[in-house]
Structures are given as structure tokens and as C-alpha cells.
């Protein structure tokens, strides 16, 4: 049964409340832990038992960090890395151009710098070279270096690894592996086919961090000490959130501790970026995903590919300020480019229809730096796996995003093996591909067929899962802080959503191009503010702005808003329905 009888909200979604089992588990938690009801609701939904609650609310690396040596090739990778450091060999770091790649590279560059070593950073150009190692770049690096460490890439790069003649190659990655691995000295990847999947949720920066943990262990065994790894957790937390890794297990500890480190503002690059993004509160997972992440990504999307990694590794405040301002400007340009491509892609996908197992769009000249973001928008609009491809001279570079429960990476890898794609790979929730224009229709039809076998065509409009109802008077700063203890929230761990039922809108104003700010109340002289980001990209904004005195059920997440030192609660509005 739908929650409050809402079968089709203003955004077309059915509202679903907590099931009977979750409600029972909530009451057990309240009785056995004496924790607040709102917090127990979140713990019950996450399947946390009463005896586990204390540890869950205080995730620690000491308890959750896996043994790095549980990953294949880890000991070998760390040993070779340390040998290069000890012998002062020439080291190159080949990184992907996104936040995860940049953070991974920065971890190595900062660690090496603190050990008195320099390394060469190489980040391929998205347009000219594409994702991952290529033969020419690897051959050139190998001619001038003894060791090449590929981070957030390389697991499928058989040819480029073979081209690195004269240098050892170590791969630290998390993308889905094929049946055979490149002939590298070590391939450390929790998503290798011969791994058990226990650590499949790690991003590449987390894999790099584990390699540095193992390097630290080996150093201690030899009677030496390495750099302070705890001080580098801001980079791991940033990458985990920005790469949309599920916030489960050790990832929760990485992000929780990483946010604490980031709040100290010791990393000049991140401090400068926070300032240009006008971040005036303590960092939260939201800031990593929506303020800092997109700016770091902007260099790889439409600017200079290595800007993000250079900013994160930077130790000069003046250089950091310059890089941060450049990335902020590029991010503004990226938004303009994205807006044009998104409009065309949504129009094309709607014409094709949202009921197939795969929703896709393609166009000539669509910038490859924004196709991934636009694919995310298609996915959100359709609740289907989505692909967006930009073509140039008959070759298309595309990016895909999937929905929960549907693996996109494996079918794309299969299409590449079948010859329908020039290349392709990724992981369950995101993937990239290169396709010839004359193979496009056939490739998309085949991909749709493979996704249908997973049931991708069966999902309706995404249900909005709700945790309960609140009244404005009950939505206090204290309540929001209590709920936040169950965080961090993000991929795989959605923030709790509450409904404010039968509310009267007292004030509504459009903010910027597409956002809506409202004030609402329940008729008892208690009012509350709400912000709905992107509300005018769909029906939500117009309906609430022109409410005409009608009353609405309002659904969303609680936020703490800080203004001139004063904290208040606001609703981050996600959906509404006529009361």
C-alpha cells in the first residue's frame, strides 16, 4: 500500500513507507538501546541489530580496515613500490582524469614527497587519448621511468602494458576485470574475476590507500617509518563519495574520518577549492559529491586533464588558489555545455521511449566530458540503465549509468568481446564505451537485450522510500544531528526521508535558473523552510510556485542550514503530492 495514498506524486512516483518488519525492528531498537526513535528508524532500515548499534554509529578504521594482503598481488605491489623508493628509481603515476583517479594519484604523490621522492604525473586527455593507458603514452613513460603505477585504470589495458617495455607496471584499480589480466608485475583490484568480491565496494583511492598501509607495514618490519596515513583520509573520503561507491563497511569509516581530516583544512588544495565553492560550513558528504567533486572533475571533462590531481597534491597555497579558480571557471563552462547536451538527449530519449530495458541517446559533437553527467540525468528521469554517446568523425565515445540491481559493466564488456564496441568497461553502476557509428544501433539493441535478461525493463517509475512523518515543530537541529549519527549518507546508504503531511505553502520563490525555495507550515504558527534543487527541470517547481492556496504533502531530507553562526533545520525537498 502506498504511503499516505500517494500512488503518483508530482514527479510521478509512488510513495512507500517502512514495512512491518522495519517498524517492528525500530521498536525493538528503541526498547533495547534507548536511542531516539528517528535514529532507530534509520538503523532498522539498514538492518542494524541492537547489539551492533554502538559500533555502527561510531565506525572506526581500527575495526573495519581489511588486511591489505587479502587482495591478490598486494604484497608484491607494495614491495616493488618500496624498492623503487629505496633505490631512488624513476616513478611515473598514470591516473584516470576523474576525482577517484586524481585522489589516487595525489595519495601517491603526497606520500612520495614526504619520503623525499618525486614522481611524474600523467593523466590522459579525455578527447585525444580517451580513458586509461594507451600504447604511445606507456611506451614513452617506460623509456624514462623504472616503475609505472596505474591508478583507477589499467585492468583491461593488455596492449598498453605490453608497450611499457623496460619498466615494471603496477596496477591499482577497481574496475571490472576480464578473464585474463595484463602482463603487469602486479594487478591489485577487488573486482578481479579471481577475487571473492568481499571488497568490491572499494573505489580506486581506497585500493591505493590499502597499498600504502601495506607499504607502511613493510617499512615498520624493516625498522623504518612512513608518512602519516590518517592525515590522507580526506582524499580517500572524497574519492569514495565522488565515485559513488556504496557507503557500507569500511567505506563509512573512510568518509567519516575523511570529513574530520578535511575540516582541519590542512590540505591547501582542498581548502582553496572549498573557498572558491563558497563552502562556509564544516564539510559533509553532500559537499564532496556536489560542490568539490564536480569542480575537480571539470579539468578532466572540458579542460586540462591533470588539473584535479595537481590541485589535490599541491602544497603551495598560491598555486592551489590559481588551480582552484581555474577549476571553478571550467566547472561553470561545463554546466553550460551540459545544459545543451542534456536538453537534446532528453528530447531524443523521450521520443524513443522510457519503457525499454535501456534508455539511450547520441549526437554529433556532444562533448565527451559531459555525456556521463547527462546519462545520470536520463537514468533519473527513466529509472532505467542509460547511455549517452557523443560522435566525432564516425567514432562515438559514450558513458553509461545504471540503476540499483542492474549490472551495466559486465554487458558492456561482453559487447566489446563480441566486436560490437571498439572498447568498453567499467563496473556495475557506471561504464564507458567507444563505438563505431555504423555499429551503434546493433550495439544498443544487443545491450538492451542483455539488460532485459536482468529485468531492467520491469522497473516502473522509481518508488520514493520514506522513513516516516514529521511535524515542523519536531524537526529540530537536535533531531537532525541525531539522525546524522547513522551517516554518512549517499550511494548504498540513502539519507532518511520524511513527509510533512497536509502543509500550507506560505512563500515560494524561484532561485537561480531551476531551484525553488519555499516556506511552509501546519497552521499552528510553526513554519519551516525548504529548498528544492532542480525543481523547475520538472513539474515540481511550477506546481508548488503556483500553489493557489492548495495544501501539499512534502517529502525530503533534513538539512542543517548555518547562517551567520545560527543553525536552523531546512527540508531538502525532493517530492510533493496534493494533500
**Do residues 181 and 79 share a domain?**
yes
**Region 151-167: what's the mean pLDDT?**
97
- For residues 176 and 298, membership in a common domain is answered with yes
Q: Is the C-alpha dihedral spanning 495, 501, 507, 512 positive or negative? A: positive
Report the CATH number at residue 441. 3.10.310.30
240-241-245-248 Cα dihedral, nearest 10 degrees: 90
What CA dihedral angle connects 264, 270, 275 and 276, to 10 degrees? -170
Same-domain check for residues 317 and 382 = no
Residue 48 lies in a domain: no
Same domain, 224 and 298: yes
Whether residue 337 is contained in a domain is answered as no
In the predicted model, is pLDDT for residue 20 greater than 90?
yes
Return the ∠ at Cα 341 (arms to 340 and 344), rounded to 5°: 90
Residues 171, 295, single domain; the answer is yes
Question: Does 224 lie in the same domain as 190?
Answer: yes
What is the separation, in whole angstroms, between the first and last Cα of the chain? 17
Say if residue 488 is preceded by a cis peptide, omega within 30 of 0: yes
- Does the pLDDT at position 23 exceed 80? yes
165-172 CB contacts, 8 Å cutoff, 24+ apart: 165/139, 166/142, 167/92, 167/141, 167/142, 168/80, 169/138, 170/77, 170/80, 170/81, 172/77, 172/104, 172/204, 172/207, 172/208, 172/211
Confirm whether 342 is domain-assigned. Answer: no
Cell numbers 525500530 correspond to what residue?
26
88 and 128 in a single domain? The answer is yes
Asked if residue 126 has pLDDT above 80, the reply is yes
Distance CA 10, CA 545 (A): 13
Q: How many domains does the chain have?
A: 3
Q: Is the pTM of this model over 0.75?
A: yes
Of 417, 579, 576, 512, nearest in space to 9 by CA: 576
- Last residue within a domain, chosen from 294, 328, 362: 328
Which of the listed residues 397, 419, 452 is the one where a domain comes to its end? 452
Tens of pLDDT, residues 286-297: 899 999 999 999
**What average pLDDT does this structure show over 541-566?**
92
Q: What is the pLDDT of residues 351-365, one digit of tens each?
A: 998 889 999 999 999
pLDDT computed for residue 460 by the predictor: 63
**Averaged pLDDT, 472-477:** 93
- Residue 404's pLDDT is 83
The residue from 293, 328, 363 where one domain ends is 328
Return the C-alpha cell found at 251. 567505506
In a domain, 44, yes or no: no
- pLDDT for 524: 80
With cell 551517516, the residue in question is 487
22 in a structural domain: no
Residue 237 lies in a domain: yes
Strand partners, 518: 508, 530
Domain of residue 322, CATH code = 3.90.1640.30
Structural domain for 545, as ranges: 466-578
| pLDDT computed for residue 523 by the predictor | 80
Structure confidence at residue 382 as a pLDDT band (50, 70, 90): confident
* 568 and 516 both lie in a single domain: yes
CA 235 to each of CA 104, 409, 497, 542: distance values in angstroms, whole numbers, following the listed order = 8, 25, 28, 40
Residues 446 and 476 in one domain: no
On whether residue 481 sits in a domain, the answer given is yes
The three three-digit cell numbers of residue 367, written as one number: 562533448
**CA 166 centroid distance within chain:** 36
**Cα–Cα distance between 539 and 10 in angstroms, integer?**
6
Residues 102 and 210 in one domain: yes
Cell matching residue 220: 615498520
How far is Cα 176 from Cα 390, in angstroms, rounded to an integer?
A: 23
Based on the domain organization, do 100 and 243 belong to the same domain? Answer: yes
- 501 and 447: one domain? no
- 335 found inside a domain: no
On average, the pLDDT of the chain sits at: 94
415: nearest Cα among 394, 393, 387: 387
CATH number where 571 lies = 2.40.50.460
In sequence order, the 6+-apart residues with CB closer than 8 A to the CB of 220 are: none
Chain Cα centroid distance, residue 19: 28
pLDDT at 539: 92
Amino acid at each position: 500500500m502506498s504511503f499516505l495514498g500517494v500512488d503518483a506524486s508530482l514527479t510521478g512516483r509512488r510513495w512507500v513507507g517502512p514495512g512491518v518488519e522495519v517498524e517492528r525492528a525500530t521498536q525493538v531498537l528503541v526498547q533495547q538501546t534507548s536511542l531516539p526513535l528517528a535514529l532507530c528508524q534509520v538503523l532498522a532500515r539498514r538492518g542494524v541489530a541492537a547489539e551492533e548499534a554502538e559500533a555502527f554509529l561510531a565506525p572506526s578504521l581500527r575495526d573495519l580496515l581489511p588486511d591489505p594482503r587479502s587482495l591478490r598481488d598486494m604484497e608484491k605491489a607494495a614491495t616493488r613500490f618500496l624498492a623503487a623508493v629505496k633505490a631512488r628509481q624513476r616513478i611515473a603515476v598514470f591516473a584516470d582524469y576523474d576525482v577517484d583517479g586524481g585522489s589516487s594519484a595525489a595519495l601517491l604523490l603526497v606520500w612520495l614527497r614526504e619520503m623525499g621522492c618525486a614522481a611524474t604525473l600523467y593523466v590522459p586527455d579525455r578527447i585525444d587519448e580517451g580513458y586509461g593507458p594507451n600504447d604511445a603514452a606507456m611506451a614513452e613513460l617506460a623509456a624514462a621511468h623504472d616503475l609505472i603505477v596505474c591508478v583507477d585504470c589499467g585492468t583491461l589495458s593488455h596492449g598498453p602494458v605490453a608497450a611499457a617495455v623496460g619498466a615494471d607496471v603496477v596496477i591499482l584499480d577497481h574496475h571490472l576485470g576480464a578473464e585474463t589480466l595484463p602482463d603487469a608485475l602486479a594487478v591489485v583490484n577487488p573486482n578481479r574475476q579471481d577475487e571473492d568480491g568481499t571488497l568490491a565496494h572499494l573505489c580506486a583511492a581506497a585500493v591505493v590507500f590499502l597499498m600504502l598501509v601495506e607499504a607502511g607495514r613493510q617499512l615498520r618490519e624493516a625498522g623504518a617509518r612512513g608518512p602519516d596515513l590518517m592525515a590522507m583520509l580526506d582524499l580517500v573520503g572524497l574519492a569514495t563519495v565522488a565515485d559513488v561507491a556504496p557507503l557500507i563497511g569500511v567505506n563509512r569509516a573512510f568518509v567519516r574520518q575523511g570529513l574530520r581530516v578535511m575540516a582541519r583544512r590542512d590540505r591547501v588544495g582542498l581548502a582553496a577549492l572549498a573557498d572558491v565553492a563558497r563552502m562556509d560550513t564544516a564539510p559533509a558528504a553532500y559537499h564532496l559529491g556536489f560542490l568539490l567533486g564536480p569542480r575537480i572533475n571539470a579539468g578532466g571533462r572540458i579542460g586540462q586533464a591533470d588539473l584535479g590531481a595537481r590541485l589535490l597534491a599541491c602544497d603551495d597555497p598560491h598555486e592551489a588558489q590559481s588551480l582552484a579558480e581555474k577549476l571553478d571557471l571550467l566547472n561553470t563552462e561545463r554546466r553550460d555545455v551540459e545544459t545543451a547536451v542534456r536538453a537534446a538527449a532528453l528530447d531524443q530519449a523521450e521520443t524513443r521511449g522510457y519503457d525499454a530495458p535501456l534508455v539511450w541517446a547520441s549526437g554529433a559533437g556532444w562533448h565527451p566530458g559531459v555525456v556521463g553527467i547527462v546519462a545520470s540525468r536520463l537514468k533519473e528521469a527513466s529509472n532505467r540503465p542509460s547511455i549517452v554517446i557523443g560522435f566525432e568523425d564516425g567514432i562515438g565515445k559514450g558513458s553509461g549509468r545504471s540503476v540499483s540491481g542492474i549490472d551495466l559493466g559486465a554487458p558492456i564488456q561482453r559487447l566489446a568481446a563480441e566486436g560490437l564496441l571498439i572498447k568498453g568497461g567499467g563496473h556495475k553502476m557506471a561504464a564507458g564505451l567507444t563505438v563505431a557509428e555504423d555499429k551503434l544501433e546493433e550495439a544498443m539493441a544487443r545491450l538492451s537485450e542483455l539488460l532485459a535478461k536482468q529485468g531492467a525493463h520491469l522497473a516502473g517509475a522509481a518508488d520514493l522510500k520514506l522513513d516516516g512523518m514529521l511535524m515542523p515543530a519536531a524537526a529540530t537541529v537536535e533531531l537532525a544531528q541525531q539522525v546524522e549519527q547513522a551517516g554518512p549518507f549517499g550511494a548504498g546508504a540513502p539519507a532518511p526521508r520524511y513527509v510533512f503531511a497536509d502543509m500550507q505553502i506560505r512563500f515560494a520563490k524561484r532561485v537561480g535558473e531551476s531551484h525553488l525555495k519555499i516556506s511552509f507550515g501546519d497552521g499552528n504558527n510553526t513554519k519551516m523552510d525548504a529548498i528544492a534543487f532542480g525543481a523547475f527541470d520538472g513539474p515540481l517547481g511550477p506546481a508548488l510556485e503556483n500553489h493557489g492556496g492548495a495544501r501539499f504533502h512534502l517529502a525530503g531530507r533534513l538539512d542543517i542550514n548555518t547562517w551567520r553562526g545560527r543553525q536552523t533545520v531546512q527540508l531538502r525537498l525532493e517530492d510533493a503530492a496534493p494533500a
